Amino acid sequence: MTRTHHILLLRHGQTDANAAGTLQGHQPTPLNLTGIRQANLLAARLAGFSPPVGAIVSSDLPRAAETASPIASACGLSIQFDPAWRERSFGLLEGKPVGDKKLWDVASGEIDIPGAEPSADLRKRIHDALLAIPKNYPDVQTVAVVTHGGALRSILKMLADGVLPSTRGETPSHNLPVIPNCSILHLLARAYPDGFRWKIDAVNDVSHLREMM
């Protein structure tokens, strides 16, 4: 019987840069008070997730690590830090406000600029990191991954474009949504002879944050 892996892809909690609408990239920005509250609510949600979370992987940037910490405590697990799950580096644009379409296109991975991580490199990095999850944790049914908006948008685009093969009948949308802080992108991965196939179970699940809305 083919085993189904649950992969919970989690955007980090809010930072002051998120609230101000500025590009962070690899900047070591911490969570603000709202982000800390979001992370704690997400942790409480995942503590009761079924099948239980059996492993936690996180970007090593501070805002992701600070989000992963209460999840690890709530689930009784340690955190495996992996820089492959970092946000895209934006070079000299880091710290700039996302106030026009060009900067938003850069933030969304639509265009490349000198000094920034090439969008193709970002997609390959995230693609390989995602495929490594079920391979590295073959006996873990649910893995939580704390990452960033750019990584999540890349995965949704790869699903929509067929770079990540979907299960039969799955037709992911090409309209990429805004990714809220501490939202859950829930993917199901099943192994077939020709590789893994993917199904989206939930996008932008923020039901655990209802009391903050």
What's 179's DSSP letter?
-
pLDDT string in tens for the chain (213-residue length): 468 999 999 999 999 999 998 999 999 999 999 999 999 999 999 999 999 999 999 999 999 999 999 999 999 999 999 999 999 998 888 888 876 656 666 666 667 778 889 999 999 999 999 999 999 999 999 999 999 999 999 999 999 989 999 876 555 566 777 899 999 999 999 988 888 999 999 999 999 999 998
pLDDT of 107 reads: 65
pTM for the structure as a whole: 0.94
**How many Å apart are CA 21 and CA 1, to the nearest integer?**
47
Alpha helix locations (H) across the chain?
16-20, 33-47, 62-75, 101-107, 119-136, 149-161
d(CA 24, CA 121) in angstroms, rounded, equals 18
B/e letters for 139-156, b = 16+ CB within 10 Å, e = fewer, are ebebbbbbbbbbbbbbbb
Residue 192 is predicted with a pLDDT of: 87
* Separation between Cα atoms, residue 119 and residue 106, nearest integer Å: 9
**Is 110 among the residues known to form the active site?**
no
DSSP of 120-131: HHHHHHHHHHHH
Q: Containing domain of residue 59, as a range? A: 4-212
Phi, psi of 79 (to 5 degrees): -100, 130
Question: Considering its fold, how many domains does the chain have in total?
Answer: 1
Sequence length of the chain is 213
Is-catalytic flag, 12?
yes
Of 5, 6, 12, 208, the active-site residue reads: 12
Instruction: Spot the catalytic one: 87, 117, 148, 208.
Output: 87
Give residue 110's identity as a one-letter amino acid code.
E
Cα separation of 70 and 85, whole Å?
Answer: 18
C-alpha span between 102 and 90 (Å, rounded): 13
Alpha-carbon gap, residue 130 to 154, rounded angstroms: 11
CATH code, domain carrying 194: 3.40.50.1240
